[in-house]
Structure 1
Amino acid sequence: MYQLHNRELCQNTAASQHVSLKMETPQIDELCFPELFNKSCRKPTPAQSDVLLAYILLSFIALITAALNLLVIISISHFRQLHTPTNLLILSLAVSDFLVGLIVMPIEILLTEACWYLGDLMCALYYIVGFIITSSTVGNMVLISIDRYFAICDPLHYTTRVTLNRTQICICLCWICSVIYNCLIVNDFLRQPDSHNSCHGECVVVLNNITGTVDLVVTFIAPITVIIVLYMRVFVVAVSQARAMRSHVIAVTMQRAVGATVKKSEMKAARTLGVVVLVFLICFVPYYIPSLLGEDIEHSSSTSPIVVWLLFFNSCLNPLIYASLYPWFRKSIKLIVSLKILKSYSCDSKIL
């Protein structure tokens, strides 16, 4: 009886050890790269119904983002009446938002819950493109704030200071500086893209304290400070103009401060672009909070998905703001969808 109990105990112990060993050792079909048994990452768990629904929703957001910003690009590029310095800045912003919906969002969906099979070079390329697009978006917001500052606070000299050629040069410099700056920031990562990967099948980039601090100042603190200061000035002038319009009396001191009566169209553009800037701040600030707290900025599938997608969602909100506040955008959408832009001389259509 004792020998039988002892044999059963040994069998149970062996079975438990076998189960424990089986739990600790991943199966071949659970690995991203089965041939690299000890170095491969594990595949994510099968998607549940709620996760699948989230994927469908995110894919829909990416599609809408690309489509709406493409409409903005076609509208401003096609109709000559929309070829103004302010609209050129909106066009540049729409290009960066379009790239977010076309490239960054779809890859981010794959990167969140899937193994990275595209190699280290494509991993580095993905992150550098994402950083360039983000920096260009911030740069475009600064240019929009400067444009509204001159239009509202110095309307007499606006047409001479802000011209189409100067605006085009500023936009080109914004994109060129964004490319050069981000290549310098992630220079070490471009040399060794897999330096921070814990296993094969992962795509991770980590900015150290020095690089993260520089990026925080250049990409966030300095631009945000400029944007807030300029728009505070625009807000003060806009309030002064509104009070003067209501009282129908413009004092001499106010004339000196404002310079001239601001056109209604410029004031409306300032309000619309002010909403764009406000939404931009709401979407971007949470992304940089860890860096403000002194933490290393890590970009990978483990980075908070809500914060990352809130930043991306800003690209979808911008064209929705244009559609709700700009009548010319709604008119241009009708002409584009109805294919009337294919007609001759459609570029000279009255949109405004």
Structure 2
Amino acid sequence: METLEEAELCFPQLLNTSCKKHKRSHSEAVITYTLMSSVSLLTVVLNLLVIISISHFRQLHTPTNLLLLSLAVSDLLVGLIVMPFQILLTEPCWLLGDLVCALCFFLAFITVPASTGNMVLISVDRFVAICDPLHYSTKITQNRIQIFVLLCWIYCVFYSFILFYDNLKQPGRYNSCYGECMINIMGALHLVLGFIIPISSIIILYMRVFVVAVSQARSMRSHIAAVKLQRSVTVTVKKSELKAARTLGVVVAVFLMCYCPYFCVSLSGYDIMMASSTNSFINFLVLLNSCLNPVIYAFFYPWFRKSVKIIVTFEILQPHSCQTNVL
């Protein structure tokens, strides 16, 4: 009996203080590892392609693409750091110590909110481009975007530090036994700063863009007898606005799909075991958003497909490839 009891402990040598191993089937473990490892690899590859494309080709050095670059960096870090950490959390026992546990959560709550923050900045950029196009070039400059991106990252570091101050000050203080990786954060603050404010901002900006697009469509119909050149310009504006509205609509839908289960479970007050399938699933959805972002923001653009073709065919290694026309 003693041997069986020790086999069920994370640290058999600590009989009285060790956590018990949570049992799970072999098939569940294989599926979890395969799925999360594949998504992690795909997230890294896709966002790395975005980073290389925007950084290398001079034609892509625009304020809007600088926001896409910042988004890709945050999502790359999610795939490189947070997702492997999440895979380790699916294990029945945490074996890397209290300090590593606290630091991993601290980094996770920097990179994931940074991804969300960059989405908000992109929504603002497109809002100005669509709703105030005449003043876009004066309001949205390269220097201003750099400042806003820097402020976004500083905000995320400060945000994570506030949430994890107690956990960083005394790692493991919320663990009930050895072999556990438990943290405690201010749930209300996390809900407001990490979900309500970002998604509200995106929705409000999206609705405004949608209203402008509808207004342009009505204007086109009311001036159907206008000069052909003037009408063609109107049609072009309408198409660009509707495309932006659809893109932002996809962003909102995907963001809600990925984040709502996590925050709903957090607000419900239920305690979920670290290695449970429910915990793994809701955290996986949040991280999946970082894999979908490069698809939403980059795959919709022809320049990205051209850039990827040049990268994968190694044409990027040729002299002066940075001046290649990808637009």
Question: How does the TM-score come out when normalised to structure 2?
Answer: 0.88
Contact persistence 2:124–2:205 (CA under 8 A): yes
1:117, CA displacement in angstroms? 1.6
Question: Is 2:321 aligned against 1:346?
Answer: yes
Rg larger for: 1
Give the distance between the partners of 1:340 and 1:171, measured in 2 at CA: 31
1:297, CA displacement in angstroms? 8.5
- SS of residue matched to 2:184: strand
- SS of residue matched to 1:304: helix
Q: Provide the aligned length of Structure 1 versus Structure 2.
A: 317
Specify whether residues 273 and 348 from structure 1 end up closer, same or farther in structure 2 by C-alpha distance, changes over 3 A only: farther
Measured on the aligned residues, the alpha-carbon RMSD in Å equals 2.5
Specify whether residues 65 and 80 from structure 1 end up closer, same or farther in structure 2 by C-alpha distance, changes over 3 A only: same
Give the distance between the partners of 1:328 and 1:268, measured in 2 at CA: 16
Structure 2 match to 1:30 = 8
1:52-91 deviation line (CA, Å, top 9, x unaligned): 1332122111111111111111111111111111111111
Structure 2 match to 1:316 = 291
Contact persistence 1:75–1:332 (CA under 8 A): yes
Give the distance between the partners of 1:140 and 1:171, measured in 2 at CA: 7
Contact persistence 1:73–1:91 (CA under 8 A): yes
AA in 2 matched with 1:109: I
1:112, CA displacement in angstroms? 0.8
- SS of residue matched to 2:196: helix
- SS of residue matched to 1:99: helix
Give the distance between the partners of 1:42 and 1:299, measured in 2 at CA: 12
Question: Is 2:84 aligned against 1:73?
Answer: no
Instruction: Return 5+ residue gaps in structure 2 as ranges.
Output: 227-235
Structure 2 match to 1:8 = none
- SS of residue matched to 1:325: coil
AA in 2 matched with 1:342: L
Matches within 5 A, 1:141-156: 141-156=119-134
Structure 1 match to 2:106 = 128
AA in 2 matched with 1:326: Y
1:350, CA displacement in angstroms? 1.0
Instruction: Return 5+ residue gaps in structure 1 as ranges.
Output: 1-21, 252-260
- State, as a whole percentage, how many aligned pairs show the same letter: 59
Of 62, 67, 84, 2:62 maps to: 84
1:326, CA displacement in angstroms? 1.4
Question: How does the TM-score come out when normalised to structure 1?
Answer: 0.82
Give the distance between the partners of 2:141 and 2:273, measured in 1 at CA: 39
Give the distance between the partners of 1:37 and 1:133, measured in 2 at CA: 37
Contact persistence 1:152–1:267 (CA under 8 A): no
Structure 1 match to 2:243 = 268
Structure 1 match to 2:35 = 57
AA in 2 matched with 1:60: S
1:32, CA displacement in angstroms? 1.9
AA in 1 matched with 2:192: V
Structure 2 match to 1:285 = 260
Structure 2 match to 1:97 = 75
Specify whether residues 192 and 242 from structure 1 end up closer, same or farther in structure 2 by C-alpha distance, changes over 3 A only: same
Give the distance between the partners of 1:155 and 1:296, measured in 2 at CA: 48
Contact persistence 2:46–2:291 (CA under 8 A): yes
